[in-house]
A and B are shown apart, each in its own frame.
Chain A
Amino acid sequence: MAAPRSELPAWVDIGLIPLLNLAVALIVAGLVVVIIGENPLQALGIMLNGALGSFKGWSYLFYYTTNFTFTGLAVAVAFHAGLFNIGGEGQAYFAGLGAAIVGLNLEFLPWPIVIPLAVLASAGFGAFWAWVPGVLQAKRGSHIVITTIMFNFIAASLMVYLINNVFRPVGRMAVESREITGAYILNFRELGRLIGWKLPSTPLNPTIFLAFLAAWGVWYLLWRTKLGYEIRTVGANPEAAAYAGIDQARIITVSMAISGALAGLLSVNEVLGVQHRLLLEFAGGAGFVGIAVALMGRSHPVGIVLAAMLFGLLYQGGTELSFARPLISRDMIVVIQGLVILFMGALEYAFRPWMAALFFKPED
């Protein structure tokens, strides 16, 4: 995944090609919109206006960005070690357990203590859920793709059981825990109220800063530390890494644990910052979107944040679009998102040969 490429100038590689892919994706999506009898330009306008036309739209965009940044970074760290972690969904889901256990049981502590503890618990639980497949890969050769996807199902079964039988208050129909009052991260509306500002009600909360911090942390880890160098070496060439004396098994388990911890931070946003309860499937597919985000962001933190924002735009714009145009159902929105993923992720090299012909820079 982190294969060295680039006989192309950087601005073509990370600027022009993604934009071209996006344009093609939007044209094809527009054709689909035409087929169901709506005006594609209007649809595009509603999407853009819904996400970028108001403070509320931006807030939702950044709320989604928070989730996708965490899961995108999680996938990217594993990519750099040559591992394909598709268990971000399960790791984030399981991490909610850590957040809830701390949040519900340590309510007597003041928030400056209990919130960091809950954040650590989220990361720790997420790390554990990825560490196990990491060990299985490193010591037993069980393929990480298979084990991580299986761990998604194990997490789903375990969480249904625990939420139903342990966390759910007796006599309550909804499958969710009681409200977490201790480790309650105020959202920006509630924070604004403290200083007299009136902001629209959105799920955006300070966890967004944690996401940006995590992005910086991943950059620092991968390109400024010895461990990061080892991770990238193992990913680029395992044999050379082994020859250089790098303990491959250790790198696999450590990078999976880091990956899981990053995915686990999603539950800080959802469980502590937005829902304030442990509930079924709160990850909502963000773990899988993270794969597309990492692909599109070329596994670089800056690219990942930008790609996460693009997906945030698609999610929020898509929501507004299905409000304004009931004909364009949520399944249509998934089609549009899917086309963007297809062209930006899977077909990312489709235009490269042409671009290479246009911008070829002789180099040896």
Chain B
Amino acid sequence: MNKRTLLAAAASLAMMAVSALAADDKPAIVFDIGGKFDKSFNESMYNGAERFKKESGIQYGEFEIANEAQREQAIRNFADQGYSPIIAAGFAQAAAVEKVAKEYPDLKFAIVDMVVDLPNVQSIVFKEQEGSYLVGMLAGLASKTGKVGFVGGMDIPLIRKFGCGYVQGVKAVRPDATVFQNMTGDTGAAWNDPVKGGEITKGQMAQGADVVYAAAGATGLGVLQAAADGGALSIGVDANQNYLHPGKVLTSMMKRVDVAVYNAMKSGKDGTFKSGIQELGLAQDGVGYAMDDYNKPLVTADMQAKVEAAKAGIIAGKIQVHDYTADNKCPAE
């Protein structure tokens, strides 16, 4: 049959193309289900990888996960081709990284947001509670009603960690404040539902909230929009989102996954890649609050001084911000 010979020809062409793809010590990155253009966590990692590519001229391998079975398949596929370091985005990749890293002891692996205890794995975790504490303080100081909101994506430990740090920060400056906490949904769609995020924000504003913190991926874009439309302030997450609504976004809780990815790729290239746990908090500039021209009018010198004092206190260990994931409990509600 004519069609069959055509297919065979195409298949052999494809095989030639695949074998030309061999990789030696090139980094690879496996994005999580959210996808690399989520304006948040994955996109931040993508930006870090792009920066490495621009500076070094090295093309990295990349893959976006579409279902659970692909996690191990993707990491193994890169390992088979000799990519190193292989960076896995997100806590959900831990089991796959652990399995493949054991089988390829000569390759380097890195995982973000989770600890995998193997000699060839770098585990990059962030102290989200510390950054959230600082933006919580700003929320408490900026609020006129004494009521503030938090919109999470899905009810998972990572997001509770954000929320718990935030509440602690709010209560530190305003012990009598009320914090409304809502999650967007129970499926992966919760990370990419700006409309629902906006509706939840309106609901919180109707109850009196005038500052709302979003930790919900692309859903947060709806939170920021609704707050700006309704005359309330909002707080962005992961990347600096102050520019999205100038003068309406109080600040952003920055989680520098882009820097972490860039450093992992660069150290892999320079031969200085270190395995073990890298815990990035305020002291390492891994998390922080964003200040720029867009939110300057919103944050008074007095507010900033208080936050800076708390930041110094946290770095010095004088202020302890509780980590929700340590015991699944939050001391502040």
Contacts and interface: CB of A to CB of B under 8 A. Distances in A.
A292 B91 CA distance: 32
B186 A173 contact: no
A174 B64 CA distance: 19
Contacts of B14: 42, 45-46, 48-49, 324
B86 interface: no
A157 B68 contact: no
B155 A160 contact: yes
A64 B67 CA distance: 11
A277 B68 contact: no
Q: A-side binding surface: helix, strand, loop or mixed?
A: helix
Interface stretch (A243-251, A325-333, A355-363): A325-333
Given A160-B154, A330-B66, A171 B328 contact: yes
A319 B73 contact: yes
Interface in B149-178: 154-158
A315 B11 CA distance: 17
Interface in A141-161: 153, 156-157, 159-161
A160 B259 CA distance: 31
Interface string B56-87: 00000011111111101110110000000000
Contacts of B13: 41-42, 45
A277 B92 CA distance: 12
Interface stretch (A105-113, A212-220, A280-288): A280-288
In the complex, which of the residues A49, A161, A164 has the most CB atoms of chain B within 10 Å of its own CB atom? A49
Contact of B113 (A157, A173, A333): A173
A203 interface: yes
Given A277-B95, A323-B77, A46 B63 contact: no
Contacts of A323: 63, 74, 77
B94 A330 contact: no
Interface string A330-344: 110110000000000
Given A173-B325, A330-B66, A45 B187 contact: no
A41 B10 contact: yes
A161 B77 contact: no
Given A153-B186, A324-B21, A171 B10 contact: no
Interface residues of A, number: 49
Q: B-side binding surface: helix, strand, loop or mixed?
A: helix
A60 interface: yes
A181 interface: no
Contacts of A281: 68, 187-188
A288 to B, nearest CB: 12
B11 A45 contact: yes
Contacts of A284: 67-69
Given A164-B156, A319-B70, A45 B327 contact: no
Contacts of B103: 201
A201 B79 CA distance: 13
B91 A173 contact: yes
B316 interface: no
A173 to B, nearest CB: 5
Contacts of A117: none
In the complex, which of the residues A45, A64, A172, A281 has the most CB atoms of chain B within 10 Å of its own CB atom? A45
A230 interface: no
B206 interface: no
Interface in A294-321: 315, 319
Interface string A271-283: 0001101011110
A301 B163 CA distance: 49
Given A173-B157, A174-B92, A277-B95, A48 B11 contact: yes
B68 A46 contact: no
Contacts of A175: 91-92, 156-157
Given A173-B91, A323-B63, A270 B11 contact: no
B18 A174 contact: no
5 A-B pairs with least C-beta separation: A45-B10, A45-B14, A284-B67, A46-B14, A157-B186
Interface of A: 41-42, 44-46, 48-49, 53, 60, 63-64, 153, 156-157, 159-161, 164, 168, 170-176, 201, 203, 270, 274-275, 277, 279-282, 284-285, 315, 319, 322-324, 326, 329-331, 333-334
6 contacts: A45-B14, A63-B69, A153-B187, A156-B187, A160-B186, A281-B68
Given A45-B15, A171-B325, A282-B68, 5 more contacts: A53-B11, A159-B186, A164-B157, A170-B328, A274-B68
